[in-house]
Amino acid sequence: STQANFAAYFTMTPTTMAFRENSAMAVPAPLWTHGPSPGAFYPMSHSTSAPSEPRQHTTQPIVTGTSVLAVKFDGGVIMAADTLGSYGSLARFRDVSRLVKVGDRTLVGAGGDIADYHAVKDLLDGLECENYEADDGHDLTPKAVHTYLTRVMYNRRTKMNPLWNTLLVAGIQDGTPFLGLTDKLGVAFAEDAIATGYGAYIALPLLRDALERKEGPLTKEEALTEMEKCMKVLFYRDARSLNRYEVATITADGIEIQEPRPVETDWSIANMVRGYE
């Protein structure tokens, strides 16, 4: 038998010999590669390598702007914000404008993260371009911009990636002053006087008091006086504010954003303050 197999091996053709050798070395592939063995668990391996792209979510504001104030008067709205961009507790950027025009009848003011504010500005620029390209005879109205920003903020909130801002929207619609707010959660409302940030605690009561004492709409001059008082109080009390602020006036004639002005302060009684050492 052994001699017969040995003789048969030498009588095979080269093609038959190659086929026999390849068949002997071939191993059938498993039916389920990388799967668990019978009765075993699948090894769940998690990669510990760092992601290739940096994290894009705003989980903590870096450069921020503080309060934005606004109040209605008879015929328009006045809005004010200082020009400081704070890097933590460092008064780093002292010429940051946080008031922006949208179309001819709307003004937006922003508190919170400055980078996210610029992202909002880019969205508003795109909104203006779309409205211009439509060329349908309809302008952007303050209520439309307010609704748009509310949807944007709520959409980003639902993605767990909010735009870290509180936005004020002011303008004239149908001959009537409009003033509204939307925040990073998409919460929105309209009011006669609104303040964001620290101003919601120490400036908004002053504005509301002025409206209640007048028992009616303020005049433009009265609104400016109250705004100057509030900005002075904020500079005294808010460590993230600056004694330099912008004021914008929105009326039926248009929007005027004035050059930054200084806060007139008096520190003569500072040496008599006790209890904060």
Tokens read off for 23: 């068949």
The rounded percent of the chain whose pLDDT value lies above 90 is 66
* pTM metric for this prediction: 0.77
Kindly report, residue by residue over 78-108, the tens digit of the pLDDT. Answer: 999 999 999 999 999 999 999 999 988 999 9
Higher pLDDT, 274 or 175: 175
Segment 2-23 shows an average pLDDT of 53
Confidence band (pLDDT; 50, 70, 90) for 6?
very low
**Whether residue 57 has pLDDT greater than 60:** yes
H/E stretch holding 93 reads: strand 90-93
Active site residues: 58
Higher pLDDT, 212 or 59: 212
The rounded percent of the chain whose pLDDT value lies above 70 is 78
Residue 235 CA to residue 228 CA, distance in Å, equals 11
H/E stretch holding 189 reads: strand 188-190
**Whether residue 269 has pLDDT greater than 50:** yes
CA nearest neighbour of 18 among 27, 9, 6, 30 = 9
**Whether residue 265 has pLDDT greater than 90:** no
H/E stretch holding 79 reads: strand 76-82
Tokens read off for 200: 């919601």
Other Cβ atoms less than 10 A from the Cβ of 25: the count is: 6
**Whether residue 164 has pLDDT greater than 60:** yes
Tokens read off for 132: 């211009």
**Whether residue 27 has pLDDT greater than 70:** no
Confidence band (pLDDT; 50, 70, 90) for 17?
low
Confidence band (pLDDT; 50, 70, 90) for 172?
very high
**Average model confidence (pLDDT) across the chain:** 86
Segment 252-268 shows an average pLDDT of 91
The reported pLDDT for the residue numbered 29 is 59
The reported pLDDT for the residue numbered 47 is 56
Contact between 217 and 226 under an 8 Å Cβ cutoff? The reply is: no
